[in-house]
Chain A
Amino acid sequence: MNIVVCIKQVPDTTEIKIDPVKNTLIRQGVPSIMNPFDKNALETALQLKDAYGGKVVAIAMGPQQAKAVLREAISMGADEGYLVTDRAFGGSDTYATSYILSQAIEKLGPFDVILGGKQAIDGDTGQTAPSIAEHLGATRLTYVLDMKVEGDKVIARRQVEEGIEVIETKFPVLCTATKESNKPRYATVSRKLYSLRCDIPELTIADFPNIDTTKIGLKGSPTKVKATFTPKRTATGVNIEGNSPAEIAGSLIDKLAEAKVL
């Protein structure tokens, strides 16, 4: 089974600071990490490899320092890592990024399974991985807890609001993973040492002679950020206290009725 995992390097904080003038993320002074949900996606990939054999390839798009997350992926067990990097790719939104990544996946593939995190903790859009499926014409399954293979069928369990959805589909399939999917493994000492010494090949625009240049970079990105702001808190919460759960529940119901919610 050939598996590719899309990994993003993100700032290590859930409290992103935004440049008020440029409306972009301030990355200076914040350590970079592998997007935590992508780590879950990588663990899903490694579990599939453990169960069915094959190869796990990690790809990331970004500047040179993004190689760090590919090395981390290799230290955990990914076989290879590729950095997609070019000035021409800079400023890409989720649409352009998903298009470029889908080109990279086609070039490195074919792959049976494409994995990514449900969203990145910096932008939080959750769009890039699902869009890759559209570009590739692959089945798209978000919030996948786990998956198994029976013959040429893939059976995946999805976390949905109402419970768990079991879906049967065929390869190729793109899945996104969540925190609940698994507990990512630790690296081993020997893989760690290998990951720090191995070569991380780069894919630049020259590797994609047929890429549609109107769909990449800042100019190829339909998203335009008009303004970014932290919404003002308009209402404060109420703490309901009482001597027993029944009393607390009673006052809660009263308050909800008062607010005409019930």
Chain B
Amino acid sequence: MSLLYTDEQKELLAMVREMAENEIKPYVQEADEKGECPRELFDWGFKMGLHMLEIPEEYGGTGLSYETTAMIFEELAKVDAGYAISFVTSFVALRNVILAGTPEQGKYFADVVKPGRFAAFALTEPNAGSDPGAMRATAVKDGDDYILNGNKTFITNGALASIMVGFFKTSPEKGNRGISAFIVDADAPGITIGKHENKMGLRLSNTTDVTFENVRVKASAMLGEEGSGFKLALNALNLSRAFVATMAVGIMQRALDESVKYAKERKQFGEPIINFQMVQQMLADMAIKIEASRCLVNNTMRMMDNGSLVRKEGSITKTFVSDCAQEVTSNAVQIFGGYGYSKEYPVEKLMRDCKVFQIFEGANQVQRMTIAGELNREYK
């Protein structure tokens, strides 16, 4: 652990660690197998107030900094990143409301989440992933209302959320400038939740299609100006992209913890395999990548706490950390050898869990395009 934690952060981390180790960890393997997290497990997180961390104090939340919140979610991700991301996704939606919403909208959103409910962020469509401008979902004005239609896919918390932030084209002819964001109650008539994705990893996290069919919302549910949705989504995604990296750090740390423990116990040729230099190099490289990743996430979080939109830094953080996580978790499986390939041991799951970090919140290839684009702009 490389960071200089305050006493307050240490206390919070110890508290979350104790809960996650005692109440969540024993059930993770079974939930991963089933591809579903029981509500009772989420309730431990709700009781502790994990869903309140990022909600500002003026809306009755805890109003923690991104820095401290990220530390807490790294801790949770050590036990299960899918569990952690279920709570984080509510904040992904929240960040849009904070960036563009009115105080009334902020309070409305917070009041739905506070009693112990999830939120979702509905942007991606079957043909609009890295290119959100290609979205087809529409919002058509009808008196004081808008009527929403469209298919959203890979929606985290799709079947769990009570409230969503969704993106729709209010002026399809205007392309990216014709997209608007809305707060939508998940139980609004016309919303259908599709089947749960049978995913490779993050299997405690719920992921579904969400279909909007003539869903009526008040015009007051629009976040920001009409047509400002694309810019809002990009700004919110910059923050969220940087933030998700903290969970990849948690996965990596778990991989290292398990690997060192195993390398000290496992004997071949009459001695623990940690005595072999090839294994030592792997462990040392894992530790190096984790330390660097954690420091990078921490610095980006502190920039966000200072109001930066981390356009370039968010991309750098997510790309670097998620690429490191592939190597670290793959090497954890390597150190465990044949046992690492077995589901009886914890490391193959870490490898499955971390793959998506190179894909979601914008694929790493697109992130590199963004970083290069920013460089091109900076050096003109």
Contact = CB atoms under 8 A, between A and B. Distances in A.
Query: Real complex partners, A and B?
Result: yes
Nearest to A197: B8
B19 A186 contact: yes
A202 B8 CA distance: 22
Given A186-B15, A186-B18, A196 B7 contact: yes
Interface string B34-65: 00000000001001111011000000001010
B111 interface: no
B8 A190 contact: no
B12 interface: yes
A193 interface: yes
Given A192-B12, A196-B8, A186 B62 contact: no
A155 interface: no
B11 A192 contact: yes
A187 interface: yes
Interface centre among A185, A186, A189 (most CB of B within 10 A): A189
A189 B53 contact: yes
B55 to A, nearest CB: 11
A189 B47 contact: no
Contact of A189 (B7, B18, B44, B62): B62
Contact of A186 (B7, B11, B48, B64): B48
Contacts of B12: 189, 192-193
Interface residues of B, number: 17
A73 to B, nearest CB: 14
A198 to B, nearest CB: 13
Contacts of B8: 193, 196
A197 to B, nearest CB: 9
Contact of B52 (A75, A187, A189): A189
Contact of A188 (B7, B18, B47): B47
B62 A190 contact: yes
Interface in A173-194: 185-190, 192-193
Contacts of B52: 189-190
B7 A192 contact: no
B10 to A, nearest CB: 10
A75 B14 CA distance: 13
A36 to B, nearest CB: 13
A189 B19 contact: no
A59 B52 CA distance: 30
B281 to A, nearest CB: 35
Contact of A193 (B18, B47, B62): B62
Contacts of B72: 189
Contacts of A189: 12, 15, 48-50, 52-53, 62, 64, 72
Contacts of B53: 189
A200 to B, nearest CB: 15
B11 A196 contact: yes
Contacts of B49: 188-190
28 contacts: A75-B15, A185-B47, A186-B15, A186-B19, A186-B44, A186-B47, A186-B48, A187-B15, A188-B47, A188-B48, A188-B49, A189-B12, A189-B15, A189-B48, A189-B49, A189-B50, A189-B52, A189-B53, A189-B62, A189-B72, A190-B52, A192-B11, A192-B12, A192-B15, A193-B8, A193-B62, A196-B8, A196-B11
Interface of A: 75, 185-190, 192-193, 196
Given A188-B47, A189-B48, 18 more contacts: A186-B15, A186-B18, A186-B19, A186-B44, A187-B48, A188-B48, A188-B49, A189-B52, A189-B53, A189-B62, A190-B52, A190-B62, A192-B11, A192-B12, A192-B15, A193-B8, A193-B12, A196-B7
